[in-house]
Structure 1
Amino acid sequence: MMQQFYPTVPHAYRFELNKDMNFSAAHFIPHEEAGKCQSVHGHTYFVNVTVAGNRLDASDFLIDFKLLKDAIHKKYDHTILNDHPEFGGKFPTTERLAEEIWQSIQAILETRDNKPVCLQVIVRETPTSYVIYRPQQEEVR
């Protein structure tokens, strides 16, 4: 993967970790304003997750990169996003996908003794289009 530089989130944490990953998935947006995207089609999504915190865990990690990748790649790779229950009642747009990835990552981080937080998730749907999801301050527990 080519090295990417993404918009940063200003913060006062001592450590910041960024994990890039990708997966292939299909979706469709059943709404008349979605144009051609109403039909099933696929993407190779590229994702960047930013995690920050002040303390490292017992292994001197903020969090193991593999835990982040496994949580997302195993969940979404080679699936149809519309079939995932977390999109029930919502269209699986790139915006919603970024939000759902943040929720998945943040739920894992909340179980960690060192309590890191997910500051942002970036999902690139095409080479020229990406979405950034940043939680509102009260969402970061």
Structure 2
Amino acid sequence: MGCSKKKIKYELSKEFQFEAAHRLIKNYSGKCINYHGHMWRVIITLHGHELDEKDMLIDFNELKPLKKWIDKYLDHTTIIWENDPMLTFFKKNNQKYFITKKSPTSEHIGEIILDKAIELFDNQRIKVKYIEVKESNTSSVKVYSNKY
């Protein structure tokens, strides 16, 4: 007397952390115009209607490639807009940086991580629903996949 598979939808989330600095200078005049850092928290949420042969949507360990990508490119780095005049300094002084095409807002950082997550995990059975980016305990942004 189980439920019909079509009526069941599973949703799974996993949280990762990284440390990075950024500043907002594109059409911005608030205090975040200065370089500052966050302990960023990223939550990936996937969803689907079918479980795999282990009766899981996805094994949490299978999400490690996203954490490895975050650690390699974003952890302990400066996330910098491609038009930031300070980019020359970072290049000249061998500083770790990650260049963004838009202002490195939480929204844009979420877009970047969402694109990578979709590349890594989207398939016919599961889809990335959204990425939540938390730059503090009180401020977060959710960036939804357009496939949701």
The C-alpha deviation readout for 1:71-114, integer Å capped at 9, x for no partner, is: 323321111111424x12x100011111111111011124x5x5
What one-letter code is carried by the residue in structure 2 that aligns with 1:39? Answer: N
Contact 2:9–2:47 under 8 Å retained in 1: yes
- Pick closer, same or farther for the CA change 1:45–1:34 going to 2, 3 Å: farther
* 1:98 counterpart SS class: helix
CA distance in 1: counterparts of 2:51 and 2:36, whole angstroms: 41
* 1:92 counterpart SS class: coil
TM-score (norm 1): 0.73
Moved more, 48-57 or 38-47: 48-57
CA distance in 1: counterparts of 2:110 and 2:67, whole angstroms: 14
Question: For the pair shown, which has the larger CA radius of gyration, 1 or 2?
Answer: 2
- Pick closer, same or farther for the CA change 1:69–1:55 going to 2, 3 Å: farther
The C-alpha deviation readout for 1:23-44, integer Å capped at 9, x for no partner, is: 0001111235242211211100
Q: For the aligned residues, what is the CA RMSD? A: 2.4
The equivalent residue for 1:93 is 105
Match of 2:17 among 13, 22, 27: 22
* 1:69 counterpart SS class: helix
Question: Gaps (5+ residues) in structure 1?
Answer: 1-11
CA distance in 2: counterparts of 1:61 and 1:68, whole angstroms: 19
Moved more, 35-44 or 67-76: 67-76
The equivalent residue for 1:75 is 73
CA distance in 2: counterparts of 1:96 and 1:34, whole angstroms: 18
- Pick closer, same or farther for the CA change 1:25–1:122 going to 2, 3 Å: same
TM-score (norm 2): 0.70
* 2:117 counterpart SS class: helix
The C-alpha deviation readout for 1:43-85, integer Å capped at 9, x for no partner, is: 0001111011234456665341323322323321111111424
Alignment partner of 1:134 is 2:132: no
The equivalent residue for 1:45 is 40
Contact 2:73–2:98 under 8 Å retained in 1: no
